[in-house]
Chains A and B, each alone.
Chain A
Amino acid sequence: NAGVTQTPKFQVLKTGQSMTLQCAQDMNHNSMYWYRQDPGMGLRLIYYSASEGTTDKGEVPNGYNVSRLNKREFSLRLESAAPSQTSVYFCASSEKGARGYEQYFGPGTRLTVT
């Protein structure tokens, strides 16, 4: 099992460029998440998908769009990148445990917007 995989690992964009971050999981989980991690702020939820075919906004959705392509894949798109979107992006997936969800994280994508 690869778990949660993310591509690319690193990316540099110029302001105004667009890109899509890819995420896939092979654990047959229903729920998938996109977070961003910034120094001193922990992880903040951008979007999540509770199940295939559904997506919902998290804490910081502005400037992002998502697509739940199928049960395995959940992509994050930046339509017009801004320097404020420089961050490390993590994808996660989960399946409900006995009480509460355990989330499994990918290795992250480090994005710099100049």
Chain B
Amino acid sequence: GNSVTQMEGPVTLSEEAFLTINCTYTATGYPSLFWYVQYPGEGLQLLLKATKADDKGSNKGFEATYRKETTSFHLEKGSVQVSDSAVYFCALFYNQGGKLIFGQGTELSVKP
């Protein structure tokens, strides 16, 4: 079936460090891929998305590229800030089900 696997957290980085959060997926067909972010005490917000192979989604300095050959959608940021501390969720949407499938989330903590 369709599924999403993320690297386990928590991930702890110093400010200005490079961030990678790995995400791989299993799906039939051509899903759309998303990264959502959840700040403490809040609901999820869409961070970026990609709807077809080789698309790059970007927002707020974060980037992720839809790699069909490796079934991956890794999230990257060149220089993290304390304000990026949050839980990040990778998700896929497949048309047949009409639903989002979420990974388990990766907690990021950025220290000054």
Contacts and interface: CB of A to CB of B under 8 A. Distances in A.
A and B assemble together? yes
Interface of A: 4, 31, 33, 40-45, 48, 50, 58, 90, 92, 98-108
B99 A45 contact: yes
Interface string B70-97: 0000000000000000000100010100
Interface SS, A side: strand
Nearest to B100: A103
B22 interface: no
Interface of B: 4, 31-32, 34, 36, 41-46, 49, 51-52, 89, 93, 95, 98-100, 102-105
A6 to B, nearest CB: 8
A42 B104 contact: yes
A49 to B, nearest CB: 11
Contacts of A48: 98-99
Given A99-B52, A102-B46, A105-B44, A42 B93 contact: no
A51 to B, nearest CB: 11
B44 A41 contact: no
A100 B51 contact: yes
A42 B49 contact: no
B102 A42 contact: yes
A104 B34 CA distance: 13
Contacts of B42: 107-108
A90 B93 CA distance: 18
